[in-house]
Every structure is written in structure tokens, then in C-alpha cells.
């Protein structure tokens, strides 16, 4: 199942979570990836760990979001994927 949350607007991120995979995979697309990519990935992995998720592919399309925005978008996309709601 797939869940999506966020917008393609400044200071936001579009996060897609796919639970149909093995292991954890995090993909970050951002103009600031060289500077903040590892921190963005860390934010996603923290949410997955808190939610006890062991299998997920997460794609983050960043448009200047802060870490708490990425965490919130990840958490919501994850819950939508778990419920089978891709809105």
C-alpha cells in the first residue's frame, strides 16, 4: 500500500511511503541534498523507528522543508499507507 502527504510548495515536502517492499529504503530529492540530505533521511528513519516499521520505501521530494515538517509528512503518509488511503 502507498500513502502520500505534502505539497510541491516552498518550505514543504512531498512524501511517498510504499509498504510493499523488504527492508527500509529512503530516497531524498532536494536542491539542498548535499548539505541536508543526511538530516532529511535521519528524520524519516526516526519516524519509521518510532512507528516500529521494518519494511518501507520512502521518497522525499523536498522544497525547503524543515525537519519537523518532513517528520509530520512522513508520519501522515505512513498512516495513510497503513490504512490503504492514498489521498
Per-residue pLDDT tens over the stretch 6-16:
999 999 999 99
Q: What is the pTM of this model?
A: 0.93
Give percent of the chain above pLDDT 90.
94
CB neighbours of residue 61 within 10 Å: 17
Does pLDDT of 85 surpass 70?
Answer: no
Name beta bridge partners: 14.
Answer: 6, 61
Which is more confidently placed, 85 or 82? Answer: 82
Amino acid at each position: 500500500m502507498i500513502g502520500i502527504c505534502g505539497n510541491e510548495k516552498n518550505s514543504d515536502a512531498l512524501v511517498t511511503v510504499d509498504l510493499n517492499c523488504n527492508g527500509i529504503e529512503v530516497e531524498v530529492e532536494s536542491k539542498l541534498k548535499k548539505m541536508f540530505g543526511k538530516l532529511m533521511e535521519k528524520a524519516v528513519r526516526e519516524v519509521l523507528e518510532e512507528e516500529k516499521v521494518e519494511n518501507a520505501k520512502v521518497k522525499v521530494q523536498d522544497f525547503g522543508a524543515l525537519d519537523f515538517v518532513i517528520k509530520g509528512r512522513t508520519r501522515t503518509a505512513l498512516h495513510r499507507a497503513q490504512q490503504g488511503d492514498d489521498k
